[in-house]
Structure 1
């Protein structure tokens, strides 16, 4: 389960997203910026002026440590902090509550993927087969 859209609204949101990303694997600041951009399909690209001071702050708080290769990894305290992030603990706020809401959300995502396929086909190319299989699943309903 990934972060909900509202997680990106503030610096606090960036903090939670960075901790969540580091729970998967160690990363340096540039990798974090790219991971946020990739995860949000380009909607959000945090600036180095936001990410690097945050990494220093997280290190000072003992939540991350910097490895010799320059990548940051969660400490034991950091792993505990990730477990306290609300959207990791339980259902995300704003999740669709009815079939109608799910259909609306699916339609919006399908429209978005269609636009990306037209404007940036290389971004979609690695996922074409998976998208086709999802379409087949939905067509069986």
Structure 2
């Protein structure tokens, strides 16, 4: 059964001086201010489309990796994932770098990296962002 998630943005003004408010409507967890300056310069307490993509990608990747590791008989104790989305004004999103550190008893570094590469290739958000270069750094903790 398909699930639909909804977010809305109300925008006022032109691109450079305007401002918007992103509402995470499905979850109801909040409204977040957004502006061109928060996208192209400094966040200053506002979000950006790229930060929202980073949140979606890091969480989707973590879920996919957890699922893959568990399916292989080595469930993770903890995964810590960061997604860095690079935005170049005038060009757009030029890349995404995922960094994951995991605590996975009974798994060696090579198998962890292999599982992370598989999750990177197959998580639904990675697939949706297939037109962007996605890179990965994966390591076991400790």
Normalising by the smaller structure, the TM-score range is under 0.3
Instruction: Tell me the TM-score normalized by structure 1.
Output: 0.25
Structure (1 or 2) with the greater strand fraction = 2
Higher helix share: 1
Greater RCO, CA 8 A, separation 6+:
1
* TM-score after normalising by structure 2: 0.25
